Amino acid sequence: MPIDPKIALGAELPSREFAWTPSDVQLYQLGLGAGARWTDAAELRYLDDREPQVLPTFATVAQTLHETEPPKVSFPGIDIDLAKVVHGHQEVEVHRPIPAAGKATSTGRISEIWDKGSAAVVVQEHTITGSDGAPLWTTRSSIFAKGEGGFGGERGPSTKSELPDRAPDFDVTTRTLPQQALLYRMLGDRNPLHSDPEFARAAGFPNPILHGLCTYGIVCKTATDTALDADATRVTGFRARFAGVLYPGETIRTRIWRTDGELVIAATVVEREDAPVLADVSLKFE
């Protein structure tokens, strides 16, 4: 059985110590397209050699920087073929601004497993603590495993939210690069779905797709730049559900509604009649 919920649910994941440098932060933010406005002072804060400001979404790659092996979906009670897996949702909560360099320890667990019938949803939660013993950030993410449901578990709650019934406060388009996935994979996500045309076609896609976490980071940066004066230190949390695919070279349309302490966001693909790519997007700020 690829999923044994009796073993998997609540299982502790191996702890991990890791570190990062300003160059790692720069590489991550270049992977999202930072520097496109190469003479803009606010833009260049993402690429400062000594103290680059750090987008909270850096938390999604900090542990796996520079890994060169494709990831495996193998946890206690869970063993799934990588080709069956897509990212379901991602959430980052930062407890203080992420420093440009640091050392930290990650602890995690399988917090939820849901049976969707034709698929299974597995939720992980990781807590990251800095070398000073204080919490830095918490991440929660889910994977959607096609063909792995039907084990008799609960379906789980619906997380869909409604967009405000008014015109957005901001409506921005961001063009991705044809080589965006090949650049982003240098951060440690070597899933061949994003680089190998044959692998992508075997998984049901006409071509390699952009990493969902790359789209996730681009939208967070776009919202930060547009609505928060490009000040990443104001962001306290960012979450999104992966609602569709984006192919490198396509254009992301980001619509943003400002509410009290939160930006509500929708991200779609311009070239495919605004097909959704991220949904239920929320950026919390102070």
Name the residues annotated as catalytic. Answer: 189, 194
What span, in angstroms and rounded, lies between the C-alpha atoms of 60 and 217? 9
Please give the Cα distance from 182 to 185 (Å, whole number). Answer: 5
- Pairing outcome for strands 235-242 and 85-94: antiparallel
Q: Around Cβ 15, how many Cβ atoms within 10 Å?
A: 12
By the 10 Å C-beta count (0-12 exposed, 13-18 middle, 19+ buried), 31 is classed as: buried
Q: Residue 70 — left, alpha, or beta (φ > 0 → left; ψ -120 to 50 → alpha)?
A: beta
Q: How far apart are CA 182 and CA 215, in angstroms?
A: 14
User: Tokens in use for 116?
Assistant: 């969707």
Contact 154, 115 (CB under 8 A): yes
**DSSP string covering 219-240:** HHHHHHHHHSTT-GGGEEEEEE
Task: Name the 3-class secondary structure at 139.
Answer: strand
Measured CA to CA in angstroms, residue 161 lies from 47, 155, 253, 262 at distances of: 34, 18, 19, 14
